[in-house]
Amino acid sequence: MCVCVCLQPNMDHFMEQALEQARKAEQLKEVPVGCVFVYRGEIIANGCNLVNETKNATRHVEFICIDQVLEYCKNRSLKHEDVFREVTVVVTVEPCIMCAAALIELNVREVIYGCKNDRFGGCTVLDVPGLLKTSIPIRGGVRADEAMELLKEFYKGENPSAPVPKVKSQK
C-alpha cells in the first residue's frame, strides 16, 4: 500500500538531491526523474533517467542506482543483500511497475517519492506491493509539486529521441 506523508527534514534534504538529479535529466533531454539511494545516512547512489541517451528503455534511474549500489558493495566487499535491506530510495516520481517490482525484490528498506505516476505507477496504476505481498513502506507526496512541475515543463516540448510513429498504409 502506498501513502502520502510528510517526512523529517533530513529526507527533505535527500529529496532535494533527487530533484537536482531530475534537473540534470531535463538538461539531457531525458524524462526528468532523479533518485538517490541512502544507506546509513549517506547517499551511495544517485542519478537520472538515461533511456534516451542509451537508447535502452530499461535505463530508468532506479536501475542506474541499483547498478551503482552493486558496484559500491563490490568495492567494499559487502553483501548487496544486506546493504539493500538498509537502503532508503528517494525518487522524484513514483516508480513505474517495473522499477517498483525490482525495488521490492531487492527488499529495500523503504521508497519515498515525490509525485504520482498516473500512467505507469507501481502503486497508482497497479498495486505492485500488494501483488508481491510486501510490507516495504512506499510513501509519496514529498515535494510533489516541484517534481510535477519538472515533468510538466519537459512534456511541453518534444522528445527528440521518441520513436517515429508507425502509420498503417491504406490499401
Q: Considering only residues 70 and 10, tell me which one the structure prediction assigns the higher pLDDT.
A: 70
Give tens-digit pLDDT for 18-60.
999 999 999 999 999 999 999 999 999 999 999 999 999 999 9
Residue 136 neighbours by CB distance under 10 Å: 16
Q: Return the active site residues.
A: 62
pLDDT score of 129 = 86
Ranges of each domain in the chain: 2-156
**Domain spanning 2-156, CATH architecture:** 3-Layer(aba) Sandwich (3.40)
> What is the SS3 assignment for 32-94?
CCEEEEEECCEEEEEEECCHHHHCCCCCCHHHHHHHHHHHHHHHHCCCHHHHHCCEEEEEEEC
**0.95 exceeded by the pTM?**
no
* CA separation for the pair 120, 112 (Å, rounded): 17
Cell numbers at 104, concatenated: 521490492
Whole-number percent of the chain with pLDDT over 90: 71
CA–CA separation, 2 vs 22, rounded Å?
A: 22
Residue 2 has pLDDT above 60, yes or no: no
Identify the residue whose cell numbers are 531525458: 30
Q: What is the mean pLDDT of residues 85-94?
A: 98
Among residues 90, 96, 47, 97, the alpha carbon closest in space to that of 67 is found at 47
Is 94:113 a contact under the CB 8 Å cutoff? yes
Please report the pLDDT score of residue 118 as a whole number.
87
